[in-house]
Structure 1
């Protein structure tokens, strides 16, 4: 799919970015907002090490283990859809404050749960918060960031997610080995996440609203004040004018609301692209590794305690890959990044499947080879796919449908995630590591075809320039950038 040779056309009229205190202000805003990503990562990753002691204390069965794990994921699908809609109506900042409260309440329910049923209720509450954060935080960051560094700013949320997952793996390993005989050790693992929930709430009280959302609501003076805090004066005024121009065009042409989306074939198409990209990302199996990594490593030949420690390795490489991705995000086209990512992850899937066949159970090399390949898979995923997908979804939709568009796309992403998390243990039990990863490889080939034929380029353009081309279909029809 082509991109444009005049990618900087409309953006060229904007004054260039210049050094100044506003860059530090933008950095502070991204750090505070990314506590939402940190909580997302911790609350999805903590189950990896908490599941075994939780099962022993509460008497869970293999099926109820799947329900406990996937309840957060399916609730996250609902949270993404509703969070996007709420943020469109209520504001990005106020929605993130609400999510911080949900994170804290859900954590308390899980920590003090007396039984399986209340545990699931707590996981559902956490899932609503995780899903909402996955839809709202990237949009909040993308709408505040200058287009030149939008990828690296919005991508920080994904890095925060994997830092949260790594934190969960490390804390699980420390607490799990120090309090190995304590039946409620898993409660301590969950309790840690109350701290960043409080930090997110307190921090967001002092953060500004998205200037683009303020313009859409007719609050132009407030939008300019926010832009002045994160841009030079000249750039803030020029950027506000561009946002106002697009908002006026939308209103004049009645391009606002769900009805306008459904009447425009190009907006429907970009919705399908977002949905397809979200599902493709999940069908790599990345979150199955993050949730059930210990199970995979035990299946490959590690002992339970060794698997808990070895499981830290994928978490470390995910963080390293995330920082590499941030460095590349504003230099490498999104589509090229996707193609490289799906090529590498599909290759890793094939190699894991082959290794599990060639190295039979009992072979001392088997667990270490599979661990190395899992680490390579996670590194490839994080460097070339995870950060890029979240950035892409935060920037590709027009302003009037941005919360709704990313919400629907991430709803589909979480549903795919939930189905995998519910059935992954059964899949490994039925066809083993070999069949599971060969299946992932087959899906990866389909994802490559999808990216090559359907996904348009978005890098290096203002949100307003992208909005025009997405709404008219020009984004699919322009010639390739030289």
Structure 2
């Protein structure tokens, strides 16, 4: 283990912060369009009315997720050949181009959709590489905290988008710049992400994987702000781990993915993100004003309620990341969160049927109750299904299929994200307030999936996680692999001890 230095910690946090600007960008865009599609200025400039509003809203919000689904796969060869930093810079440039196309008042929905797809390519690619870049460079002592920055910055991005939309809706009349300003502001974090990559070093792990050992050493020295023998021993450990992973992948055949344990883990990786999208939080983030309209009726309060919703999200997410992320069991949190969210959604359905919102900007006691339940729901989400699927998918795959497994899981997240972001507008039009019942029932199935298929892994090493998810003969193999890993680690410890004695 490398000695901790104040400068090294600063550089690690700086690297994590710069990378997680991508999380802010993802969140800002997620919270942006739900309000913009309600602006009369946007509807007038792109010439569509109420008869085509549902289809247009679905495409404006959802089509970017389709681009992101493609982008999260397309970025892999770029990151493998050119490195993590360049891949993130490419994603930044692509997203910026898409944002510029969206900002131009072309009066063409086709051009706007194209800009959304281009931005999606950059967004999807960065979502994969940023987490990888951060985890490959962070000291193990703060890796979990830096990894949580992405989710926190994502939530902060949503919060910012809601309040920007609220501000322009109240300060600027129904003219073109009312919708152009929020969209153009995306360019700032996108540019900062790309430029920020120039201030940090390349992934040590990627350089070592390419056999560029001197560059890997220089990069590790810069990140740790230390050139001691302990830091050299850390580099040797990284090189040994890479060799072990390469050995584990030797002779890999894609048909192995159909083997029982591998297929089970791949299925879990896909379904866990389906569950994350099915609890309704993503739909609420994308279509906040429309959902609050169902709860309290049409009126100017919908944007304000959505902005407050964003504030509740960031407080809940920050509280979880800072105080609870390593203190509560993952499975227990997922089960408890699912049950609580189901109860909230079912009660909301009952209240909206017993006492429908009167409209005209009048908010009844029942309406206040449903809004409070939505806020409680999103708090539970940020303590459970918001942050926890990511570490679960990151740890359940053995080294032999790890890259394919994580790629499949993250890719499915964008697929389900697209499915819900595109369909929710139609669901609201067809189901009205019964959409809350849909999510409440979906929460029940999410809890059942957690009970029967997920394992508790908090506090376990990666080797122990593999053993927990293995079955039968596979569990024996995992146990042997764990023993081998411990023996190899013991050898590394002896090497490090020898270095210290020589010093």
Query: Structure 1 length as normaliser, TM-score?
Result: 0.87
Aligned-residue offset at 1:462 = 5.9
- Give the equivalent residue in structure 2 for 1:450: 449
- Corresponding residue SS for 1:386: coil
SS in 2 for 1:387: coil
Higher alpha-carbon deviation: 266-275 or 456-465: 456-465
Q: Residues 469 and 297 of structure 1: is their aligned pair in 2 closer, same or farther, counting only changes over 3 Å?
A: closer
In 2, the alpha carbon distance for the partners of 1:205 and 1:437 equals: 46
1:315 paired to 2:310: yes
C-alpha distance after superposition, 1:238-293 (max 9, x if no partner): 44333333322333354476738637654443222211111110111111101111
Match of 2:355 in 1: 359
Q: 2:66 aligns with which of 61, 66, 74?
A: 74
Structure 1, residues 307-361: CA drift from partner, whole Å, max 9, x if none? 0111111111111112112122233333333223223222222222222223223
Which shows bigger deviation, 446-455 or 35-44? Answer: 446-455
Is contact 1:77-1:414 (8 Å) kept? yes
Give the 3-state SS of the residue equivalent to 1:384 in structure 2: coil
CA contact (8 A) 2:103 2:184 kept: yes
1:58 is aligned to 46
Which of 114, 120, 125 pairs up with 1:127?
Answer: 120
Segments of 5+ residues of structure 1 without an aligned counterpart are: 1-14
Cα distance in 2 between the residues matched to 1:334 and 1:92: 30
Secondary structure in 2 matching 1:361: coil
| Distance apart, 1:98 and its partner CA | 0.9
Matches within 5 A, 1:69-468: 69-84=61-76, 86-114=78-106, 115-231=108-224, 233=228, 236-255=231-250, 259=254, 262=257, 265-327=260-322, 328-362=324-358, 364-397=364-397, 402-433=402-433, 435-460=434-459
- Residue 176 of structure 1 aligns to a residue whose secondary structure is helix
Residue 10 (structure 2) aligned to one of 15, 24, 27: 24
Mark the CA change 1:182 to 1:329 in structure 2 (over 3 Å): closer, same or farther. Answer: same
SS of aligned partner of 2:349: helix
Residues 463, 478 of structure 2: 8 Å contact kept: no
Cα distance change of structure 1 residues 85 and 475 upon mapping to structure 2, 3 Å threshold: farther
Q: What RMSD, in angstroms, separates the aligned Cα atoms of the two structures?
A: 2.9
Q: Deviations over 1:412-453 (max 9, x none)?
A: 1222122222221221222222x2122112221222222233
What are the Cα deviations for residues 106-144 of structure 1, in whole angstroms up to 9, with x where unaligned?
110000041100000000011112212222212222222
Structure 1, residues 64-114: CA drift from partner, whole Å, max 9, x if none? 221111101121122223234543444322211111101210110000041
Farther-moved stretch of structure 1 (245-254 vs 230-239)? 230-239
* 8 Å CA contact retained: 1:254, 1:260: no
* Cα deviations by residue, 1:144-191 (Å, 9 ceiling, x for unpaired): 234443322111101111111111101111111111332441111100
Q: Quick one: distance in 2 between partners of 1:450 and 1:347?
A: 17
d(CA) in 2 for partners of 1:255, 1:147: 27
Contact kept in structure 2, 1:399 and 1:467, CA below 8 Å? no
Taking structure 1 as reference, are residues 240 and 194 closer, same or farther at Cα in structure 2, changes over 3 Å only?
same
Q: Hey, what's the Cα distance between the residues in 2 that align with 1:470 and 1:65?
A: 41
Give the conservation status (yes or no) of the 8 Å contact 1:349–1:437.
Answer: yes
User: Is residue 212–residue 399 contact of structure 1 (8 Å, CA) maintained in 2?
Assistant: no
Residues 349, 440 of structure 1: 8 Å contact kept? yes
The 1:90/1:315 distance shift into structure 2, 3 A limit, reads same
| Structure 2 counterpart of 1:47 | 33
Task: State the Cα deviation string for residues 34-81 of structure 1 (Å, max 9, x = none).
Answer: 111111111121102111222232123221221111101121122223
In the alignment of these two chains, the number of paired residues is 463
Query: Would you say the 8 A contact 2:467–2:478 is kept in 1?
Result: no
Residue 127 of structure 2 aligns to a residue whose secondary structure is helix
- The CA distance in 2 between the partners of 1:351 and 1:145, in whole Å, is 44
- Give TM-score, length-normalised by structure 2: 0.84
Bigger RCO (CA 8 Å, 6+ sep): 1
Query: Structure 1 39/424 Cα, relative in aligned 2: closer, same or farther at 3 Å?
Result: same
